[in-house]
A and B are shown apart, each in its own frame.
Chain A
Amino acid sequence: MLAFAFKRFLGAWPTLLILATLAFVLVRAAPGGPFDVEKSLPPEIQANLDRQYHLDEPLAKQYGRFLAGLAQGDLGPSFQYKDYTVNELIATGFPVSLRLGALAMGVALLLGLSLGVIAALRQNTFTDYAVMATAMTGISIPNFVMAPLLILLFAVALNWLPAGGWEGGHWKHTLLPVIALSLPQVAYIARLTRGSMLEVLRSNFIRTARAKGVPERWVILRHALRPALLPVVSYLGPATAAIVTGSVVVEQIFGIPGLGRYFVQGALNRDYTLVMGVVVFYGALIVAFNLLVDLIYAWLDPRIRY
């Protein structure tokens, strides 16, 4: 098991290197540069800025500098937020995004799993159809549509909740963004759970458990839940990625000062270091989460323990 974890850990590094390289190339492939403004700068100032941020160096050297910084965990200075390093910006923005993302993931798992199990146990009843219809809606409506709808309903029409802002993560400001972010995941996890639970309940070993006289509640909890969870566990990797990308949009709509907003601002301003830094940071996060998922998977299924 430890050897397996270590092997997967080693395998993660090339992925990150490719990701860093892609971020480096793509951000520079975008038209325009970090210091383009309406009125062009005098050439001396432009040259000074370029020298200051090493933009006058050949690309290979910039790339080398970027990687060397990465190796030391230094993502460099932000081009737009003067006197801030990218590390500092991530340190300010990420706790907000983490709170939002973790809440959304928690809600997605809790609600998705319970709804999925309930729908499976009540297959072809009204409950089942209601859950699945809601889930279908949740999957079909993207969060950039859901978020404004939620604002219109709960903030503008009913005036129950604020339309945006963060206020240090007060629950009134957290509720709508978490709903917008988690709803598609709740829906997807519910469908996934229902399907796999139904399949597991039809399997021979469940019949064996019933034939042994195990009460139905224990048949579900002890015999069926673990195998039914496996597809959900393997979806956790993509779910993390979906929540990370979703948070970029949702933070923007609700005006939440999270990492996603820095990222969007950085991309618009061609803040090369900030964009690359956030990409690598989130990339590392997703890779780490996938690693964790693999380990959970192996722990759940004895047949793939190494």
Chain B
Amino acid sequence: MTAPLLNVDALSVHFATADGELCAVDGVSFAISKGETLGIVGESGSGKSQTVLALLGLLSANGRASGRAVFNGRDLLDLPIRDLNQVRGKEVSMIFQDPMTSLNPYLSIATQMTEVLALHQRLGRSAARAQALQMLAAVGIAAPERRIDQYPHEFSGGMRQRVMIAMALLCDPHLLIADEPTTALDVTVQAQTVGLMRELQTQRDTAIILITHDLGVVAGLCDRIAVMYAGRIVETGPVDAMFSDPQHPYTRGLLTSVPRLDEITGERLATIPGNPPAITQRPRGCAYRDRCAYAFAACAEHPPPLQTVINGRAKACHLEVLP
């Protein structure tokens, strides 16, 4: 196997707040290869967004990332801002959760798109515009010639996310980070957006990190998934194996709480009892302990490390086998 495109090792994110230092991401490690799609799944507040924001140095001012994130031989976390700006938008692109606010409402689509090409490929005005038009057409925007000179408020939510995707792919990045790209969209538009990303990925062989809490989107798009809970990865592996045979109690809990239309049983939908621990009061042992049906003495002692179960799969649980 060749070296992975991105290798994240022991990435932690801390925020300095009035209540002291808070740990949002606690020693996360993962890798992604060319053309692969990795899904990062977890509840709100599990640290999945902060993980990827940290990769591109986009944490808010009070945030600090530590660890290593080696991309094409360079540690992104250690890169001076000038060099990082050469990676951002060119080699690694990002699309965000809320397409309604992620585009600049004061600049035309043309300005926002050609800016990327002018920066990274030194394209002139007309060449950049031509390429932007081509990209808008590729993401399925009708009449791009007319639409490109419009402003974001003249686009619907789904169309704006398409513009975001087009903008992110302008420089043919090696890695696309999508932070809940479908969460703010309605269901039919979600399906279109997922379809679009899959199509573009097969054409361009882009690696994708997809952050989501929608397991349906994961099943449709991802090769591997990493499940995050309270700032840590609790289980990771190929999507099919994880879905059919979850090894961590939390993964199983997530999967059984997805409603299924093909097996209507009349039973109540299973849920995971309780709430994730607040970031200010994470317990000493396993963070999932209080919600776990299988917790035993060791779980209160120390947090379980992420350990390989079988080839390509790892979990962070003191249980040998999930009953």
Q: A213-B89, A302-B105 are in contact. List 15 more A-B contacts (CB 8 A).
A: A203-B101, A204-B98, A208-B102, A211-B89, A211-B96, A213-B84, A213-B87, A215-B85, A222-B107, A222-B115, A223-B106, A302-B106, A303-B105, A303-B151, A303-B153
Q: How far is the CA of A205 from the CA of B98 in the complex (A)?
A: 10
B151 adjacent to A213 (CB under 8 Å): no
Q: Which of B17-42 contact A (CB under 8 A)?
A: none
Nearest B residue to A223, CB-CB: B104
Q: Are B104 and A205 in contact (CB under 8 A)?
A: yes
A212 interfacial by beta-carbon distance below 8 Å: yes
Do B103 and A213 have beta carbons less than 8 Å apart? no
Q: Is the CB of A301 within 8 A of B86?
A: no
Q: Is the CB–CB distance between A223 and B116 below 8 Å?
A: no
In the bound assembly, the distance between CA atoms of A212 and B89 in angstroms comes to 4
Residues of chain B having any CB pair with chain A under 8 Å: 56, 58, 60-61, 81-82, 84-90, 93-94, 96, 98, 101-108, 115-116, 119-120, 151, 153, 164, 167
* CB neighbours of A303 from chain B (8 A): 105, 151, 153
Contact assessment for A211 and B58 in the assembled complex, using a CB-CB cutoff below 8 Å: yes
* Closest Cβ neighbor of B91 among chain A residues: A213
- B94–A211 CB distance below 8 A: yes
B151 touches which one: A203, A215, A302 (CB < 8 A)?
Answer: A302
Please, which residues of chain B bring their CB within 8 A of the CB of A211?
A: 56, 58, 88-89, 93-94, 96
19 interchain pairs (CB within 8 A)? A202-B60, A204-B98, A205-B101, A205-B103, A205-B104, A207-B58, A208-B102, A210-B56, A211-B56, A211-B89, A213-B88, A214-B89, A214-B119, A222-B107, A222-B115, A227-B105, A301-B106, A302-B105, A302-B153
Residues of B within 8 A of A212 (CB): 88-89, 93, 115-116, 119, 167
> In the complex the two chains form, is B103's CB within 8 Å of A208's CB?
yes
Closest 5 CB pairs between A and B? A213-B88, A212-B89, A213-B89, A204-B101, A205-B104
Is there an interface contact between B116 and A204, defined as CB atoms closer than 8 Å? no
How far is the CB of A274 from the nearest CB of chain B, in Å? 45
Complex Cα distance, B81 from A302, in Å, reads 32
B116 partner residues in chain A, CB cutoff 8 A: 212-213
For B60, the closest partner residue in chain A by CB is A202
What's the minimum C-beta distance from A202 to chain B, rounded to whole angstroms? 8
Query: Interface size (A, Cβ < 8 Å)?
Result: 23
Instruction: For the complex, give the distance between the alpha carbons of A300 and B108 in Å.
Output: 12
A226 touches B106 (CB 8 A): yes
Q: Within the complex, what minimum Cβ distance (angstroms) separates B246 from chain A?
A: 33
Q: A266 vs B101: C-alpha distance in the bound complex, in angstroms? A: 54
Contact between A210 and B58, CB atoms less than 8 A apart: yes
Residue in B closest to A300 when the chains form the complex, CB atoms: B106
Cα–Cα, bound, A301→B107 (Å): 9
Whether A213 pairs with B86 at a CB distance below 8 angstroms is: yes
Per-residue contact bits, chain A 268-306, to B (CB 8 Å; 1 contact, 0 not): 000000000000000000000000000000001111000
- A209 contacts chain B at the CB level, 8 A cutoff: yes
Q: How far is the CA of A129 from the CA of B25 in the complex (A)?
A: 33
Query: Contacts A205-B102, A211-B94: A223 and B107 contacting too (C-beta < 8 A)?
Result: yes
In the complex, what residues of A have CB within 8 A of residue B56's CB? 210-211
CB-based nearest A residue for B177 = A211
Mark interface residues in A171-215 (1 if CB within 8 Å of B CB, else 0): 000000000000000000000000000000011110111111111
How far does the alpha carbon of A211 sit from the alpha carbon of B98 in the complex, in Å?
A: 14
Is A216's CB within 8 Å of the partner chain B? Answer: yes
CB distance from A242 to the nearest CB of B (A): 27
Query: What's the minimum C-beta distance from B86 to chain A, rounded to whole angstroms?
Result: 7
State the Cβ distance, A123 to closest chain B Cβ, in Å: 8
Choice from A208, A213, A222, A223 contacting B96 with Cβ under 8 Å = A208
Query: A222 CA to B108 CA in the complex, in Å?
Result: 12
Contact with B85, one of A205, A207, A213 (Cβ below 8 angstroms): A213
When chains A and B are docked, how far (Å) is the Cα of A209 from the Cα of B57? 13
Report chain A residues within 8 Å CB of B94.
208, 211
* A213 in complex: contacting residue of B90, B98, B102, B164, CB < 8 Å: B90
Bound-state Cα–Cα, A222 to B114, Å: 13
Q: What's the nearest-Cβ distance from chain B to residue A120, in Å?
A: 12
Tell me, in angstroms, the Cα distance from A209 to B96 when the chains sit together: 12
Contacts of B90 in A (CB 8 A): 213
Contacts of B151 in A (CB 8 A): 302-303
**Given A203-B101, A302-B151: A214 and B106 interface contact (C-beta under 8 Å):** no
**CA of A50 to CA of B245 in the docked complex: distance in angstroms?**
104
**Those of A101-129 within 8 Å (CB) of chain B:** 123
Bound together, the chains give a CA A156 to CA B129 distance in angstroms of 64
CA gap between A2 and B252 in the complex, in Å:
63
Residues of A within 8 A of B85 (CB): 213-215
On chain B, the residues within 8 Å of A226 by CB distance are: 106
Q: How far is the CA of A207 from the CA of B116 in the complex (A)?
A: 14
Chain A residue with minimal CB distance to B119? A213
**CB-nearest residue of chain A to B153:** A303
With a cutoff of 8 Å between Cβ atoms, the chain A residues found around residue B89 in the complex are 211-214
Q: Which of B82, B102, B119 gathers most chain A CB within 10 Å?
A: B102
B119 touching A209, Cβ below 8 Å? no
Instruction: Give Cα distance in the complex from A211 to B178, angstroms.
Output: 12
Q: Which of A207, A212, A214 has most chain B Cβ within 10 Å?
A: A212
| Nearest CB of A to B123, in Å | 14
- Contact B167 A204, beta carbon cutoff 8 Å: no
| Distance to closest chain A CB from B46 (angstroms) | 20
CA gap between A123 and B116 in the complex, in Å: 28
Write out the residue numbers on chain A whose beta carbons fall within 8 Å of the beta carbon of B60: 202
Give chain B nearest CB distance to A38 CB in angstroms.
64
Shortest Cβ distance from A304 into B: residue: B153
